[in-house]
Structure 1
Amino acid sequence: MQNPIAPCLWFDGDAEEAAEFYTTVFPDSKILHKIVNHDAWPGGKAGDVVVVAFQLKGQPYQALNGGPNQPFNDRVSLSVTCKDQAEVDRYWEALTADGGEAIMCGWLKDRYGMRWQIVPEAFFAMISDEDAEKSQRAMQAMTQMIKLDVDTMTKAYEGPQ
């Protein structure tokens, strides 16, 4: 049975390319199926791929070739929790390559315009700490960063020695 809820990402003709790219970036990811339209439609012509169903680390998504004038914006992003700095670095480099753009506080925009948050799981532990001062120091350190750096946030979290 297909998962009952999956984010649908709107693209302008490059849905198949984007889905294939994303499945190379994240392990345990795959293209599930493609739907080809048999007639002309507002977003393309007969024979074009209109929808690509895919999974990223087991999470289902749909990529839709919906046509122009519907760019991604800051209201929606995909958040990736990373086990360590190496994983943060790997995803950051892959998603900002070939026209992607670093934003701030762990956010980036990939070459397709999709926004991503690349966040080490250690950060969530730090800001969830019941010690408000430690948590606040970690949050303050994060707000000064572009790509998140675990060591820098950890030093801020731990405070002066």
Structure 2
Amino acid sequence: MNTSGKAGLCLWFDGQAEEVADFYMALFEDGHVISRNRSPIDWPGGAAGDVVLVEFEMAGMRLQALNGGPDRPHTDAASLTISATDQDEVDRLWGAILAAGGEEIMCGWIKDRWGVRWQIVPAEFEEMRRSAPTEALARGYAAMMTMRKLDMSQLREAVLTG
């Protein structure tokens, strides 16, 4: 992704910005730091000299992890969406987040140990959502509602064979 792009996402943390950025970047081969910014002054989330913001890329997305301070919990209202190449990538990402203290939710959603929600969706299912006839898609959605981590073989069977 072009780091000079105009849009990105800033996630608020309470002192864990570097830890979060390092973990997120390690999940993807293309993950890298753009910058680590230290504050020249004291601020509500830290002291002068502390890292206030880590700008980084993962999976082609520009993100910022901000050490903004306490009392700003993440909610289901926003999530990181990952279009997984195949079931192996779904399994790898899911397993890494879970092993690092994450919590399974449902329908392809998982919460990492910092409270950020992720949707890990096989790209093949995303394409089916765009192109499958309504009746077939309804079967796929019904199957998805029974899952935590999405299983593409079960979704494919539901959509294609009913």
Q: Deviations over 1:131-158 (max 9, x none)?
A: 2221111111011100000011111112
How far residue 130 of structure 1 moved from its aligned partner, in angstroms, is 4.4
Name which of 98, 107, 112 aligns with 1:110. Answer: 112
Q: In structure 2, what is the Cα distance between the partners aligned to 1:25 and 1:43?
A: 27
Cα distance change of structure 1 residues 21 and 158 upon mapping to structure 2, 3 Å threshold: same
Q: In structure 2, what is the Cα distance between the partners aligned to 1:123 and 1:148?
A: 9
Name which of 15, 33, 36 aligns with 1:34. Answer: 36
Q: Deviations over 1:2-22 (max 9, x none)?
A: 321110000000001100110
**Are 2:78 and 1:54 aligned?**
no
Name which of 101, 107, 110 aligns with 2:103. Answer: 101
Identity %: 47
What letter is aligned with 2:154?
T
Q: TM-score, normalising length from structure 2? A: 0.94
**Are 2:9 and 1:24 aligned?**
no
Contact 1:97 1:111 (8 Å CA) reproduced: no
Q: Following superposition of structure 1 onto structure 2, how do residues 76-91 of structure 1 map, counting pairs within 5 Å?
A: 76-91=78-93
Name which of 129, 137, 140 aligns with 1:138. Answer: 140
What letter is aligned with 1:138?
G
How far residue 36 of structure 1 moved from its aligned partner, in angstroms, is 0.3
Contact 2:108 2:120 (8 Å CA) reproduced: yes
Q: Answer with 147-156 or 37-46: which moved more.
A: 37-46
Q: In structure 2, what is the Cα distance between the partners aligned to 1:124 and 1:85?
A: 13
Q: In structure 1, what is the Cα distance between the partners aligned to 2:144 and 2:30?
A: 29
1:128 partner SS: helix
Q: In structure 1, what is the Cα distance between the partners aligned to 2:107 and 2:26?
A: 25
Q: How many residues align?
A: 160
Contact 2:82 2:118 (8 Å CA) reproduced: yes
Q: In structure 2, what is the Cα distance between the partners aligned to 1:39 and 1:20?
A: 24
Q: TM-score, normalising length from structure 1? A: 0.94
Q: In structure 2, what is the Cα distance between the partners aligned to 1:41 and 1:13?
A: 12
- 1:64 maps to what in 2? 66
